[in-house]
């Protein structure tokens, strides 16, 4: 079964990307207002120094261990494995991180970089609210003011996370433009940054945006895959056969995949949000239904009409309804290193319920999309094969959305 998932050029060294211009093949780059160029070059320069700094690494390791709670467990989902034909299924439990998702990994790295650069004001965008909560958390930890841009629609459907951000001292700026969701929140955050370049650091939450953000976010999230490598060898004495993750912008998927990209025998499956179905026009599957274009400072696959205007994305998951994807994913897609599939709202809801009742884990709607794909593929695999799925967020934030979708009164 796994032979059908990916067939790619095994001579490509994926670790050498991006190049010095931030390009992953023809994707990525830095398409921004001239005002931002000096700041982006400064961020790149300081990040390159930080990567070589033992002090920075020790700081990051300290907070990963003692504040976030890393390493997160690699859990053998025994009942799920038995129900799905006995292939061995493991969950990387990043929903057990402080704040309840993988987003805190990247936020901790970026806040330490912001402090190193002497920035005194932090801004961020958020969709499902997990990145907003993580940003507000690290700002509270280090005593920095925090402004979160969030779409009006997402504020309504993610009210628990909105309240959490306010408790943590963040100022929430509602965005009523466009689809009133993640794309528009990122637009407003970029406008803020352009006008406040001197004192402001923008903590971007996904592996998108202008260089160096896609690779920087990926690097901070790659702790996920590094931990999986040592954990699975300790438990199974071999590497996994298949890695699975959901994908919106792509940070949790790259976090799991990156350390394994040059392990040529390991297959990878990324799951986009098919919304109401790919033929409905109401989805967020940029690779299945999009084409290359430029958005938020980078070239990547985007949902767009014949005139090149960005189409509105849809997903039941507020964290996946973004009309684009990180540029490294566009590159991995064209190189066929990762297989990209999609799951509908209905499939994600069914997987959400199945996981709750089978493993006693309430997943976020984002990884519920990955679960939907896992439920389909696991029965076709052999009992000796190992699957690792990134459980990148917990479902507390989604209970009202799920209840509404299932027409259940709370």
**Residue 128 shares a structural domain with residue 213:** yes
**Residue 197 shares a structural domain with residue 225:** no
**Residue 157 shares a structural domain with residue 116:** yes
**Residue 178 shares a structural domain with residue 234:** no
Mean pLDDT, residues 227-256: 98
**Residue 140 shares a structural domain with residue 285:** no
Q: What is the pLDDT of residue 410?
A: 80
Q: What is the spatial distance between Cα 333 and Cα 230, in angstroms, rounded to a whole number?
A: 27
Q: Is residue 16 part of a domain?
A: no
Predicted TM-score of the model (pTM): 0.96
**Residue 142 shares a structural domain with residue 289:** no
Give the count of domains, the chain: 2
Give the percent of the chain with pLDDT over 90: 90
**Residue 91 shares a structural domain with residue 169:** no
For the chain, the residue count is 410
Last residue of a domain, one of 163, 184, 217: 217
With helix as H, strand as E and coil as C, how does 75-111 read? EECHHHHHHCCCCEEEEECHHHCCCCECHHHHHHHHH
Instruction: Work out whether the CA dihedral 252, 313, 327, 49 comes out positive or negative.
Output: negative
| CB burial of residue 334 (10 Å; 0-12, 13-18, 19+) | middle
The residue behind tokens 């959490």 is: 164
**Residue 186 shares a structural domain with residue 299:** no
Mean pLDDT, residues 361-389: 97
Q: Is residue 410 part of a domain?
A: no
Tell whether the model's pLDDT for residue 387 goes beyond 70.
yes
Model confidence band, residue 128 (pLDDT cutoffs 50, 70, 90): confident
Q: Which of 156-160, 169-173, 211-215, 357-361 shows the lowest mean pLDDT across its residues?
A: 156-160
Tell whether the model's pLDDT for residue 10 goes beyond 90.
no
Q: What is the spatial distance between Cα 228 and Cα 216, in angstroms, rounded to a whole number?
A: 20
The residue behind tokens 């026009």 is: 281
Q: What is the CATH number of the domain that holds 240?
A: 3.40.50.1100
Model confidence band, residue 181 (pLDDT cutoffs 50, 70, 90): confident
**Residue 302 shares a structural domain with residue 336:** yes
Closest by alpha carbon to 243, among 356, 102, 370? 370
Q: Is residue 14 part of a domain?
A: no
Q: Is residue 316 part of a domain?
A: yes
Q: What is the spatial distance between Cα 112 and Cα 100, in angstroms, rounded to a whole number?
A: 20
Q: Is residue 382 part of a domain?
A: yes
Model confidence band, residue 2 (pLDDT cutoffs 50, 70, 90): low
Tell whether the model's pLDDT for residue 7 goes beyond 80.
no
**Residue 270 shares a structural domain with residue 195:** no
Inter-residue contact 283 to 290 (CB < 8 Å): no
Tell whether the model's pLDDT for residue 8 goes beyond 90.
no
Q: What is the spatial distance between Cα 362 and Cα 396, in angstroms, rounded to a whole number?
A: 7
Mean pLDDT, residues 55-59: 98
Q: What is the spatial distance between Cα 399 and Cα 353, in angstroms, rounded to a whole number?
A: 11
Q: Is residue 353 part of a domain?
A: yes
The b/e string for 40-76 (b: 16+ C-beta within 10 A; e otherwise) is beebbebbeebeeeeebeebbeebbeeebebbbebbe
Mean pLDDT, residues 380-407: 95
Last residue of a domain, one of 172, 191, 217: 217
What SS3 state is found at 55?
A: helix
**Residue 287 shares a structural domain with residue 195:** no
Q: Is residue 368 part of a domain?
A: yes
pLDDT tens readout for residues 283-324: 999 999 999 999 999 999 999 998 999 999 999 998 898 999
Relative to beta strand 88-92, strand 74-76 is antiparallel
Mean pLDDT, residues 131-149: 98
**Residue 155 shares a structural domain with residue 206:** yes
Last residue of a domain, one of 217, 249, 272: 217
Q: What is the pLDDT of residue 165?
A: 98
Containing structural domain, residue 137: 22-65+102-217
Query: Does residue 209 have a cis peptide bond before it, meaning omega lies within 30 degrees of 0?
Result: no
């Amino acid at each position: 079964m796994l032979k059908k998932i990916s067939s790619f050029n095994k001579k490509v060294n994926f670790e050498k990307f991006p190049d010095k211009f931030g390009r992953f093949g023809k994707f990525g780059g830095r398409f921004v207002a001239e005002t931002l160029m000096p700041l982006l070059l400064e961020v790149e320069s300081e990040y390159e120094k930080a990567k070589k700094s033992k002090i920075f690494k020790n700081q990051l390791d300290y907070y990963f261990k003692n504040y976030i709670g890393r390493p997160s467990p690699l859990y053998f989902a025994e009942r799920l494995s038995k129900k799905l034909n006995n292939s061995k299924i493991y969950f990387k439990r990043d929903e057990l991180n402080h704040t309840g998702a993988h987003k805190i990994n990247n936020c901790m790295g970026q806040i330490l970089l912001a402090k190193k650069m002497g920035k005194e004001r932090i801004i961020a965008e958020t969709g499902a609210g997990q990145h907003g909560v993580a940003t507000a958390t690290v700002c509270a930890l280090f005593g920095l003011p925090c402004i979160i841009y969030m779409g009006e629609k997402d504020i309504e459907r993610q009210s628990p996370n909105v309240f959490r951000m306010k408790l943590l001292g963040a100022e929430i700026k509602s965005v009523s433009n466009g689809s009133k969701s993640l794309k528009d929140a990122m637009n407003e955050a970029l406008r803020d940054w352009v006008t406040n370049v001197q004192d402001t650091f923008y903590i971007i939450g996904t592996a998108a945006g202008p260089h160096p953000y896609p690779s920087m976010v990926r690097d901070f999230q790659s702790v996920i895959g590094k931990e999986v490598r040592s954990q699975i060898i300790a438990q199974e004495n071999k590497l996994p056969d298949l890695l699975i993750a959901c994908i919106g912008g792509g940070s949790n998927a790259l976090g799991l995949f990156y350390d394994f990209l040059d392990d040529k025998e390991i297959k990878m499956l990324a799951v986009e949000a098919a919304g109401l179905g790919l033929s409905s026009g109401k989805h967020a599957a940029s690779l299945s239904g999009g084409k290359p274009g430029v958005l938020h400072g980078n070239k990547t696959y985007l949902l767009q009409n014949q005139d090149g205007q960005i189409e509105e994305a849809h997903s039941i998951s507020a964290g996946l309804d973004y009309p684009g994807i990180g540029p490294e994913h566009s590159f991995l897609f064209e190189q066929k290193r990762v297989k990209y599939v999609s799951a509908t709202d209905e499939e994600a809801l069914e997987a959400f319920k199945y996981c709750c009742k089978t493993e006693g884990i309430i997943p976020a709607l984002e990884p519920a999309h990955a679960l939907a794909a896992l439920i389909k593929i696991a029965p076709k695999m052999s009992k000796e094969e190992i699957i690792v799925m990134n459980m990148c967020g917990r479902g507390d934030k989604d209970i009202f959305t799920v209840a509404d979708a299932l027409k259940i009164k709370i």
